[in-house]
């Protein structure tokens, strides 16, 4: 079931998956925004769309940052693998051009 929703979301907007993956890594909206070179409101907006899509809070604000829900933890590896398969081949090709 997770895979079908992941594929459906990927068809809509792959950027949301990249933002989710970065939030899993950095656990702060502002740090995620900085790393992705986007605004903090853009990260908040993406998180809102992700929450609506998955019908889950995904990340809960607590002391020390954003903590993933059990559901977010359950989809994190799949999203990370998808992001790596889409982004790293491009980056490695670009590196070879240099």
Residue 58, phi-psi category: left (phi > 0), alpha (psi -120 to 50), beta (remainder): left
Tens of pLDDT along the chain (98 residues) come to 566 766 666 666 888 989 999 999 999 999 999 999 999 999 999 999 999 988 999 999 999 899 999 999 999 998 888 888 876 554 444 444 44
pLDDT, one tens digit per residue, over 70-79 is 999 999 998 8
pTM above 0.85, yes or no: no
The CATH classification of domain 2-97, taken from the options 3.40.50.261, 3.10.20.30, 1.25.40.10, 1.10.10.10:
1.10.10.10
């Amino acid at each position: 079931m997770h895979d079908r929703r992941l594929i459906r979301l990927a068809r809509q907007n792959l950027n949301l998956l990249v933002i989710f993956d970065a939030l899993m890594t950095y656990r702060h909206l502002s740090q995620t925004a900085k790393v992705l070179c986007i605004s903090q409101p853009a990260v908040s907006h993406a998180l809102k769309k992700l929450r609506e899509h998955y019908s889950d809070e995904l990340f809960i604000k607590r002391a020390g940052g954003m903590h993933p829900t059990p559901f977010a933890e359950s989809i994190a590896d799949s999203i990370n693998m998808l992001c790596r398969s889409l982004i790293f081949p491009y980056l490695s090709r670009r590196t070879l051009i240099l």
